[in-house]
Amino acid sequence: MSILRSSIPRTVLAPGSSTQALRATCLVCHSAPLTSPSPRWTPYTRAFSTTPRRPIKDFFPAPDTPGIVKTEAAWPHPVYTDAQMKAVVVAHRDVRNMSDRVAFTMVRILRWGLDLASGYKHDKAYGMNERKYLIRNIFLESVAGVPGMVAGMLRHLHSMRRMKRDNGWIETLLEESYNERMHLLIFLKIGEPGWFMRFLVLGAQGVFFNAMFISYLISPRTCHRFVGFLEEEAVLTYSREIEAIEAGKLPKWEKMDAPQIAIDYYKMPEGQRTMKDLLMYVRADESKHREVNHTLANLDQNSDPNPYVSKFEDPSKPHPRKDLAYQRPTGWERDDVIN
C-alpha cells in the first residue's frame, strides 16, 4: 500500500465545457516535460501527501481571530550555533545493569517494529528515499512526544498527592514532549498522513502511552534510560538522512527549503534554511533528549534536583544546560552534577 503520494496538479473544467477543450487539455498535459522547478515553500504547497488533494488552503488553517496577530511558542527554543550542531555525534551508552538491559532490549524490539512499519532499509539494494524517510520521521515523531508527557503528568500528580515540590523535573519533561510535537508539526508541513498512517499512529500511541504509564509507575529510572537509548536511535536516523543528502541520494531534499513553521520555531538564520539545515536542528534536539534522559536516569528519582534548570556555584565549569554548550552524549553522571 502506498503511504505517501506526490501531489499532482489537476485541471478542472466547468460544466458544459466542450470535448475539444478536454482533448486539448489532455494533449498539453501529456506533451509537457516531466520536470518541475525546485520546490519552494508557500502556505499552499506540500512536497508529499498521503491523501488526495483537498480544497483547503492549509493543513493547519489559521484560527478566525482577527484581534490576535500571532501566538508564540510556550517554550522558546534555545539558540544552536552551526558549530554546535555539527559537533553532534552518534553515541551509545554501555549497558551496565539489569535496568539498562531491560530498557535496551525494549528499544531494540521497538526499532525492529518501526523499521518494519516504515520500510526502513538503509544501504540496501532498494534503499531509502525522501518518501520513505518522511514516513519514518512522521511515525517516529508522532509517538516520540509520549514519554515526556507521561512522565511529566505522573510526576505532577505525585507532587500534588505528596504536597511536595518536584525539584524541576516536570518542566523539563513537558518541554521535551512539546519539542517532539513541534517536530511532528514541521514534518506534517512536508507530508500529510493518510488514513493508513493515521491508523498506525493511533494504535502505536495508544499502546505506547499505556505501556509507558505502567512502566513509569514501576521504575522511572528504567523509563528514562529507555528514552535515552531510543533517542540514540533517533540521532542515528537523522544523521543518516543528513549523510544521504550530502551524498546526493536525496535530490528532492537538496533543493527544498524548510517550512515557515520550522524557520519561526528555530529562528533559522538567512542562508541556513534548507532541508538539510532543518534536519541538523532536529538531530540536535534529539541529541539533547538523549543526554537529558540518560542524565535523569543516573539521578535519585525522588530527591535529586533537575540539573538542567538548576544554578551552579561555578557557572564557568561544564554543567548540564538546555542548549548545546556542553554536550555529554551518554549523559552526566550523578557525581558530576550533584556532589
DSSP-assigned states of every residue in 58-85? -SSPPPS-TT------SSPPPP--HHHH
Q: Flag whether 204 is in a domain.
A: yes
Q: Flag whether 15 is in a domain.
A: no
CATH number, position 287: 1.20.1260.140
Confirm whether residue 254 is marked as ligand binding: no
pLDDT tens column, 136-162:
899 889 889 999 999 999 999 999 999
CB 48 within 8 A of CB 130: yes
Q: How far apart are the C-alpha atoms of 36 and 219, rounded to whole Å?
A: 53
Confirm whether residue 175 is marked as ligand binding: no
The mean predicted confidence, pLDDT, of the chain is: 82
Res 67: pLDDT: 80
pLDDT tens column, 70-123:
777 788 899 999 999 999 999 999 999 999 999 999 999 988 877 876 667 655
Instruction: Give 80's contacts (C-beta < 8 A, 6+ positions apart).
Output: 266, 281, 284, 323, 324
Total of domains in the chain: 1
Confirm whether residue 313 is marked as ligand binding: no
Confirm whether residue 130 is marked as ligand binding: no
pLDDT tens column, 244-270:
999 999 999 998 999 999 999 999 999
Q: Flag whether 69 is in a domain.
A: no
Beta bridge partners, 191, equal 48
Q: Which domain holds residue 142?
A: 81-303+319-334
Res 251: pLDDT: 93
Confirm whether residue 286 is marked as ligand binding: yes
Confirm whether residue 77 is marked as ligand binding: no
pTM of the model: 0.80
Q: How far apart are the C-alpha atoms of 144 and 146, rounded to whole Å?
A: 6
Q: Flag whether 34 is in a domain.
A: no
Strand arrangement, sheet containing 5-6 = 5-6, 48-49, 191-192
